[in-house]
C-alpha cells in the first residue's frame, strides 16, 4: 500500500534533502518538489531564490556562512524540454550534458557521492520530460565505504494520476547518517492544486530541521509553469 506523501515525511525527522516527481490527482499537471533540511547552523542558514532557469540556494545570513561547499548550488534548472532537479552541483553537470545531446545517465556516471565523510551523502537527481515522464537517480557509497560507488537509475513512463516517487539523501537521523536505501518510495499525491500540495509537504517536514521547499506544477497540455517557494527564514 502506498503512503500519502505527508504521512511518510511526518514519520521521518531527518530525511535530509528530498526530491518528489509525479502527477497531480487530476492528471493535468506534472508535479515537482525539492526540499532541504539541516542539523547544523551552516546547513539551516539557507534559503531558495528564483533564477532565470530555476532556483539557487543562498545563505540567509551571510555572516553565519562558514563553508559554502556542498550547500550553495542550483537545485533546479531547465535544459531544453527537461527540468533537472538535484541536491548538488550535479544539476549543472546534467543540464550541460542534456544541452550537448547526451543523457541523464551519461552525466551522472561522471559524478559520485559527496566528499563529506563519514556521512558520504548521496547525490540524488531527477529529470522531468515535457510529456510528464521522469527519471530518478542516487549515487552513494557502498554502505559507508568511500572506496566504492553505487549508481542507481530509475525510469517512470506514463505516470499514473495522483502518484509520485520520493527519494531523499538519508534513511533517517543518525551519526553517521545512514544513506537512503532501496528504491524511491511510491507515494500518493492527492492534490490537484499547487497550494494544497505545498502546504501539505511543508507542514509535514520536521519543524526544527526544515529549511526550504520548492514546488512546481507544469500543465501537460499548455506547458504553463506554476512555482512556489517556502523558506523558513523568510
Q: Edge-to-edge, what's the strand order for the sheet holding 163-168?
A: 3-4, 185-188, 163-168, 18-23, 29-37, 210-219, 225-231
- Residue 62: the pLDDT is 87
- At residue 137 the predicted structure's pLDDT band, cuts being 50, 70 and 90, is very high
Domain extents in the chain: 3-231
Interval 94-129: pLDDT, tens: 999 999 999 999 999 999 999 999 999 999 999 999
- Residue 40: the pLDDT is 87
- At residue 42 the predicted structure's pLDDT band, cuts being 50, 70 and 90, is confident
- Residue 1: the pLDDT is 67
Q: Measured over all CA atoms, what is the biggest interatomic distance in the chain, rounded to whole angstroms?
A: 47
Looking only at the bridges linking them, the beta strands covering 76-79 and 54-59 are antiparallel
Q: Are 24 and 189 in contact (CB under 8 A)?
A: yes
Please count the other Cβ atoms lying within 10 Å of the Cβ belonging to residue 229: 16
pLDDT value at 188 more than 90 = yes
Cα 70 from chain centre? 14
CATH superfamily of 3-231: Inosine monophosphate cyclohydrolase-like (3.60.20.20)
Task: Give CA–CA dist 56/49, Å, rounded.
Answer: 6
Report the percentage of the chain scoring pLDDT > 70.
100
3-class SS of residue 214:
strand
Compute the CA torsion angle 89, 95, 98, 100 (nearest 10 deg). -90
Average pLDDT of span 121-150: 97
- Residue 63: the pLDDT is 86
Task: Give CA–CA dist 160/162, Å, rounded.
Answer: 6
- Residue 234: the pLDDT is 81
Please count the other Cβ atoms lying within 10 Å of the Cβ belonging to residue 61: 11
Task: Give CA–CA dist 108/33, Å, rounded.
Answer: 20
> Where do we find the cell 533517517?
172
- Residue 68: the pLDDT is 84
C-alpha cell at 15: 530525511
Amino acid at each position: 500500500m502506498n503512503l500519502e506523501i505527508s504521512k511518510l515525511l511526518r514519520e521521518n525527522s531527518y530525511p535530509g534533502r528530498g526530491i518528489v516527481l509525479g502527477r497531480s490527482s487530476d492528471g493535468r499537471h506534472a508535479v515537482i518538489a525539492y526540499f532541504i533540511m539541516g542539523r547544523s547552523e551552516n546547513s539551516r542558514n539557507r534559503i531558495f531564490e528564483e533564477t532565470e532557469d530555476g532556483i539557487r540556494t543562498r545563505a540567509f545570513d551571510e555572516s553565519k556562512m562558514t563553508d559554502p561547499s556542498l550547500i550553495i548550488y542550483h537545485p533546479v534548472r531547465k535544459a531544453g524540454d527537461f527540468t533537472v532537479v538535484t541536491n548538488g552541483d550535479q544539476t549543472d553537470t546534467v543540464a550541460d550534458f542534456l544541452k550537448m545531446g547526451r543523457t541523464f545517465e551519461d552525466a551522472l556516471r561522471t559524478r559520485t557521492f559527496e566528499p563529506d565523510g563519514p556521512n558520504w551523502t548521496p547525490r540524488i537527481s531527477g529529470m522531468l520530460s515535457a510529456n510528464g515522464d521522469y527519471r530518478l537517480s542516487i549515487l552513494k557509497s557502498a554502505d559507508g565505504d568511500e572506496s566504492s560507488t553505487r549508481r542507481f537509475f530509475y525510469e517512470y513512463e506514463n505516470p499514473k494520476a495522483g502518484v509520485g516517487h520520493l527519494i531523499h539523501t538519508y534513511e533517517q537521523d543518525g551519526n553517521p547518517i545512514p544513506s537512503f536505501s532501496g528504491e524511491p518510495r511510491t507515494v500518493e499525491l492527492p492534490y490537484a492544486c499547487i497550494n494544497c500540495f505545498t502546504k501539505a509537504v511543508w507542514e509535514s517536514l520536521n519543524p526544527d530541521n526544515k529549511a526550504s521547499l520548492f514546488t512546481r506544477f507544469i500543465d501537460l497540455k499548455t506547458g504553463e509553469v506554476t512555482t512556489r517557494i517556502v523558506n523558513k527564514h523568510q
